[in-house]
Structure 1
């Protein structure tokens, strides 16, 4: 389920990420994770939801997400 739109998708249609110490990382196989669908990656409310999950400010959460997406 996507954390932003709360819709259910197949896992291959979602991006899997994790938060650790107020930073967002690509999922590496260890720890708790969350999913974001591809259509929500450009949603304006995504930064608020990421900030809530990672307990950080919305601007830095969105910046970390963009960095992960750009680097693959």
Structure 2
């Protein structure tokens, strides 16, 4: 996330985060953690909008992405 904050990211940064969130969503679904799956699904959708160019990255959006990841990490770790 440091690269996102410093505006030194490339598409692979977002793709890596997307894949992580996607994996967490799948695991949450497999083990019946519906709320975690729901949160991950919405986060994954946001990341997909960024990946396909529908939603351009901005500083407030980067802050949201990092905060969402922190929230997700709090529930997974």
| Same-fold call, TM cutoff 0.5 | no
Which of these two proteins has the greater Rg computed from alpha carbons? 2
TM-score after normalising by structure 1: 0.32
Q: Say which structure is richer in strand.
A: 1
